[in-house]
Amino acid sequence: MEKITSFTIDHIKLQPGVYVSRKDPVGDQTITTFDLRMTSPNEEPVMNTAEMHTIEHLAATFLRNHTNYGSKTIYFGPMGCRTGFYLLLAGDYESGDIVPLMIEMFEFIRDFHDEVPGASPKDCGNYLDMNLGMANYLAKKYLDEVLYHIDESRLVYPK
């Protein structure tokens, strides 16, 4: 089988950032997949599942309720390697286009101190596996170290 595109990115050079992973034509529309890379692959500790799970619940809730992006949100979910998330939006975007949205979203996660939406046995398959404190911490880290002063080097995949 052929190596899929996301395995051809040089994960040794890859630093935390906001990247366009791929664009897929679906009918006459385009779906853009973003790589929201939060930790440096193979270099720093990965995120634990509990905090990733909490970020997933908060981000999905935020995005699907968003005035402009709610109807464009196809999917938000964790990478299996636990170094980041994928966001799929309907439309043809560059990574810089969603930086304001990502700042808004990660500020929401950083400042969220309430009951995690969907964290109940009826709504989720592993509702006790949550860590809000670490989700707050990781959102702050991503904002401070990446999103607030992002430039080309963290918006385009390394060659």
- Nearer Cβ to Zn ion (99/124): 124
- Where on the chain is the footprint of Zn ion (CB under 5 A)? 124
> Which residue of this chain has its Cβ atom nearest to Zn ion in the complex?
124
Q: How far are the Cα atoms of 18, 86, 90, 108, 120 from residue 132, in angstroms, in the given order?
A: 23, 20, 29, 12, 14
- Nearer Cβ to Zn ion (59/146): 59
Choose among 37, 53, 35, 72: nearest CA to 126.
53
- Nearer Cβ to Zn ion (77/100): 77
Mutual angle of helices 49-64 and 99-110, in 10-degree steps = 120
Could you tell me where the beta strands, DSSP code E, fall in 11-96? Answer: 17-26, 29-37, 73-78, 84-90
Q: How far is the CB of 120 from Zn ion (least distance, A)?
A: 10
Q: How far is the CB of 65 from Zn ion (least distance, A)?
A: 17
Report the alpha-carbon distance of residue 5 to residue 22 in Å, rounded.
Answer: 8
- Nearer Cβ to Zn ion (32/54): 54
- Nearer Cβ to Zn ion (37/53): 53
Q: How far is the CB of 29 from Zn ion (least distance, A)?
A: 28
Q: How far is the CB of 4 from Zn ion (least distance, A)?
A: 26
Q: How far is the CB of 55 from Zn ion (least distance, A)?
A: 11
Q: How far is CA 155 from the centre of its chain?
A: 14
